[in-house]
Structure 1
Amino acid sequence: MSPSSDGDASDIDLLHSISVALIGENDRFELYGRIVEAAVTITGSQFGTMQLLCPAGDPSGHGGQLQLLAHRGLPPEAVGFWQWVSPAAYSSCTLALKLGQRAIIPDFETWDAIAGTPDLEAFRAAGIRSAQTTPLLSRNGKLLGMISTHWGKPHQPSERDLRLLDIVARQAADLLERTIAEEQLRDLNETLEARVEARSRELIAAEDQVRLRTAEQYSATLAAG
């Protein structure tokens, strides 16, 4: 068997083990974590994150920002700093957000745009020198979030790594899409239940009023007789 065949076989085994791990897990936040672990394993990185894009106009006030869902390797200070990421920030995830495609930053120290910003200081404090971010797209092409991996040294991911990462990103996007649909359905059910309950109270109140008026009319009839 050729070295290339050996590599293909090991990649298939890796993807299979990832799929098995995902199938065996039911908690969605654990699933997010396992997906990040898979991305870190594939790319040989020291850090990894998965983010959800908050819809524009969201009542939380975070519309258009990226929310951290899961991470691996980040120190607590970095988790706090990147819990919500504004599109105006400097990072591979915001660059991917602007470009609408994967963004790779081989070395933050040579990226002119980030020089002198708090973002660069945060990367230095976390021990991060390079990163890639792959957008998570729904089946109809809607941007749902991002999956990123970060390295402690200047790094350019290989075509093999990016190819396997795309497969994991597809799994991550499907999971996010399913989660979002389930949450929307739950919100709809809760809204409908609240409306039914409110309508039931209105009907009971109306029936009480009818009974009261009927009783008053009956009493008035008896008094007149």
Structure 2
Amino acid sequence: MSRKRDLITSDFAGWRYKHDYVELLNLLGHYLSLHFCIVCRDNVGTTRTSEAKAMATVKEPLTPVTGHEIEVVLQRLRNSKDVGADLLRVLDIAIGITGADMGTLQRFDERADCLIIVASRGFSPEALNYFGVVRRDTNTTCAAALMRRMRVFVEDVSTSYLFVGTRELDVLRSCGIAAAQSTPLISSNGHLWGVFTTHFRELQIEREFDHAPLDRLAVQVTDSLEQREDLVPSQHFHDKQIAEDSQPGG
């Protein structure tokens, strides 16, 4: 028994010295990727959490009005000649479901291997120019969602490992963004069409949010878009490009 323990100890020591720092980081990354979403918290703990604002409509069913808006926009996505304006309506619904203040919707360009903004709400031209094309190595929740094909949620961008010390954090702060979540648009067939991200001006509490309505919307939208895969947004739609009376709820 003693000899067996010595062998185990010797093997562990060998493993420890043979594997460098990069390998340890890879193991840590693999561990994080097993989680359904990433929740980034700060060191203040309960103090920050008590100050944070939970997402609107937490654990509440969709209202009849929102349900009707979703039905209308899905029908338009299946039949419209240019999906750009309708994608802005989709983004508005996602912003409403999450109780967010602004957001972006990006299409995944397979050839260029990047995300391209096709609809946005609440961002300055400078911010849209900076985040207009997002590649896999960009420090953003949408890039992380693209890489992992799962939702990425950051409760506080100022303490998240994705953003600390990056130019991206400076841009987010200039927009007044405190938290963000990115949900990949993946069809029922497993095809990734893009990502929509909603942003918040206040800290958020991820554990109090019911993801189901947003997940359903993502699948429904992507399935509708797949039926018209020959159509792509002809331009980037943002903010006031759709008349107020034609927006959801208008």
| Percentage identity across paired residues of the two chains | 31
Distance 1:43 1:11, change over 3 A: same
User: Structure 1: which 5+ residue stretches go unaligned?
Assistant: 1-6, 184-225
| 1:50 equivalent in structure 2 | 105
CA deviation string 1:61-115 (max 9, x = no partner)? xx11100010111111111111101111111111112222111011110113421
Between structures 1 and 2, the one with greater helix share: 1
Corresponding residue of 1:64: 113
Q: Comparing both chains, which one has the higher relative contact order based on Cα–Cα distances under 8 Å and sequence gaps of 6 or more?
A: 2
Task: Please state if 1:159 is matched with 2:209.
Answer: yes
How many pairs align?
169
Asked whether the 8 Å contact 2:155–2:204 carries over to 1, the reply is yes
CA drift of 1:18 comes to 2.6
Residue among 170, 182, 186 paired with 1:133: 182
Do structure 1's residue 41 and structure 2's residue 96 form an aligned pair?
yes
1:114 aligned residue (163, 166, 169)? 163
Q: Is the 8 A contact 1:22 1:34 kept in 2?
A: no
When normalised by structure 2's length, the TM-score is 0.62
Offset, 1:43? 0.8
Which residue identity is paired with 1:33?
Answer: L
In structure 2, distance between residues paired with 1:178 and 1:21: 14
User: After the TM superposition, which residues 83-102 of structure 1 pair with which residues of structure 2 at under 5 Å, given as runs?
Assistant: 83-102=132-151
Q: Quick check: 2:83–2:231 contact (8 Å CA) kept in 1?
A: no
- Quote the Cα distance in structure 2 between the aligned partners of 1:92 and 1:115: 13
The answer for unaligned runs of 5 or more in structure 2 is 1-59, 233-250
Separation in 2, partners of 1:167, 1:113: 27
Counterpart-to-counterpart distance in 2, 1:179 and 1:69:
16
Larger Rg: 1
Does the CA-based 8 Å contact 2:103-2:197 persist in structure 1? Answer: yes
Q: TM-score, normalised to structure 1's length?
A: 0.68
User: Contact conserved, 2:187 with 2:220, CA < 8 A, in 1?
Assistant: no
Distance 2:100 2:231 in 1: 32
